[in-house]
């Protein structure tokens, strides 16, 4: 069971059909992401991949804090060999490779690994209390889970340099202006907004959603020509699905489509 809540660092719930919610649950430590938290998230996502009833995943830390970074005390125990053998990158890869859409609901601090977790998600809804940053430089280190790469690709060179080199936080408005966040709400409304959006996506064809996500993320990895070719192949592949026939037929018959993921 995915939502058996047999977890130490997260809570998992499936309130609505099709939407699984992962809530980071170490509020005393500002949801600092120790290895176990990432392992639990990765494990839940791996199970969610196999469950056809789950269409969209929401990751939140609640209304006060998203995550204040890697657990600094845990990180302090690892020397260079410990970091070399650390399985954290395996967990990050599982999160990055999740084929289903992930919506982050970000309130309060999203710092260091918290900001990196946010950037692993596909859509970010932020509360107006969000404070986002990569403050690793204050610890004499640098981001280690995509914080230099994903941040620069999203906000551009100058802002990425400013955030990573100074460690200063940006607010929700700035994050939205720089494309890190798609919408800002009141903190108490952020989860509801994400849930509404998740339900909209959950009603689409899951195959089209999967290939759309894959094509969009390909833009990070490839040249424009390679990205366009990959998009075209995915577009053509969808012609073999019942969902495409249903979607187009429903439009012509002026009714709502019923997608079955076939």
Distance between CA atoms of 141 and 61, rounded to whole angstroms?
25
Q: Does 71 bind ligand HXC (CB under 6 A)?
A: yes
Residue closer to ligand HXC by CB (options 3, 31) is 31
Nearest to 70, CA basis, from 41, 32, 103: 32
The first and second tokens of residue 110, run together, are 């999203």
Distance between CA atoms of 19 and 21, rounded to whole angstroms?
7
Distance between CA atoms of 126 and 147, rounded to whole angstroms?
18
Q: Does 29 bind ligand HXC (CB under 6 A)?
A: yes
Q: Euclidean distance between the first and final Cα of the chain, in Å?
A: 24
Per CB under 6 A, the list member of 62, 69, 206, 257 interacting with ligand HXC is 69
Nearest to 130, CA basis, from 163, 174, 167: 174
Pairing of strands 10-16, 19-24: antiparallel
Q: What is the smallest separation between the CB atom of 109 and ligand HXC, expressed in angstroms?
A: 5
Residue closer to ligand HXC by CB (options 10, 111) is 111
Per CB under 6 A, the list member of 5, 17, 73, 196 interacting with ligand HXC is 73
Q: What is the smallest separation between the CB atom of 86 and ligand HXC, expressed in angstroms?
A: 8
Q: Does 62 bind ligand HXC (CB under 6 A)?
A: no
Specify the residue for token string 């941040």.
Answer: 151
Q: Does 259 bind ligand HXC (CB under 6 A)?
A: no
Pairing of strands 109-111, 131-133: parallel
Q: What is the smallest separation between the CB atom of 5 and ligand HXC, expressed in angstroms?
A: 23
Q: Does 187 bind ligand HXC (CB under 6 A)?
A: no
Considering only residues 85 to 104 of the shown chain, the ones binding ligand HXC according to CB under 6 A are 88
Distance between CA atoms of 132 and 164, rounded to whole angstroms?
11
**Is the sign of the CA dihedral 248, 250, 256, 261 positive or negative?**
negative
Binding mask 137-166 for ligand HXC (x = CB under 6 A): -xx---xxx---------------------
The first and second tokens of residue 46, run together, are 């791996």
Distance between CA atoms of 97 and 29, rounded to whole angstroms?
27
Q: What is the smallest separation between the CB atom of 111 and ligand HXC, expressed in angstroms?
A: 4
Per CB under 6 A, the list member of 37, 59, 104, 113 interacting with ligand HXC is 113
Q: Does 112 bind ligand HXC (CB under 6 A)?
A: yes
Q: Does 59 bind ligand HXC (CB under 6 A)?
A: no
Q: Does 61 bind ligand HXC (CB under 6 A)?
A: no
What's 5's DSSP letter? -
To the nearest 10°, report the CA torsion of 101, 183, 224, 227.
10
Q: Does 111 bind ligand HXC (CB under 6 A)?
A: yes
Residue closer to ligand HXC by CB (options 90, 216) is 90
Interface ranges with ligand HXC (CB under 6 A)? 29-30, 32, 68-73, 88, 109, 111-113, 135-136, 138-139, 143-145
């Amino acid at each position: 069971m995915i939502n058996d809540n047999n977890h130490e660092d997260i809570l998992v719930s499936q309130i609505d059909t099709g939407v699984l919610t992962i809530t980071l649950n170490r509020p005393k430590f500002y949801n600092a992401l120790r290895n176990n938290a990432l392992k639990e998230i990765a494990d839940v996502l791996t199970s969610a991949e196999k469950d056809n009833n789950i269409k969209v995943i929401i990751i939140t830390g609640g209304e006060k804090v998203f995550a204040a970074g890697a657990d600094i005390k845990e990180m302090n125990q690892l020397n260079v060999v410990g970091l070399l053998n650390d399985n954290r990158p395996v967990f990050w890869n599982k999160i990055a490779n999740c084929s289903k859409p992930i919506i982050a609901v970000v309130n309060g601090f999203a710092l260091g690994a918290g900001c990196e977790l946010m950037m692993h998600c596909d859509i970010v809804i932020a509360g107006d209390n969000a404070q986002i940053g990569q403050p690793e430089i204050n610890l004499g280190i640098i981001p280690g889970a995509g914080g230099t790469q994903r941040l620069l690709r999203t906000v551009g060179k100058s802002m990425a340099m400013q955030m990573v080199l100074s460690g200063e936080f940006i607010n929700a408005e700035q994050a939205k202006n720089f494309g890190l966040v798609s919408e800002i709400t009141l903190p108490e409304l952020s989860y509801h907004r994400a849930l509404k959006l998740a339900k909209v996506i959950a009603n689409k064809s899951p195959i089209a959603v999967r290939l759309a996500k894959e094509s969009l993320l390909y833009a990070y990895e490839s040249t424009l020509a390679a990205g366009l070719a990959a998009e075209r192949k995915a577009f053509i592949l969808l012609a073999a699905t019942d969902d495409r026939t249903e979607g187009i037929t429903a439009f012509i018959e002026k009714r709502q489509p019923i997608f079955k993921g076939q």
